[in-house]
Amino acid sequence: MVTFQELIQLQQLQQKRLLEIKDYL
């Protein structure tokens, strides 16, 4: 099972990737 903390970490990673992609565009 995935813990709540892990879910938050995953969301943060996805947000960072989105920001990085926006920077490239």
Give tens-digit pLDDT for 3-25.
Answer: 999 999 999 999 999 999 888 77
d(CA 17, CA 2): 21
Place of tokens 């996805």: 14
d(CA 14, CA 17): 5
| 1 band by pLDDT with thresholds 50, 70 and 90 | confident
What ranges do the domains of the chain cover?
A: 1-25
d(CA 25, CA 8): 26
Alpha-helical runs (H) found in the chain: 4-24
Q: What is the pLDDT of residue 20?
A: 92
Pull the structure tokens for residue 5. 């903390």
Q: What is the pLDDT of residue 8?
A: 97
pTM of the entire structure?
0.58
The DSSP letter of residue 25 is -
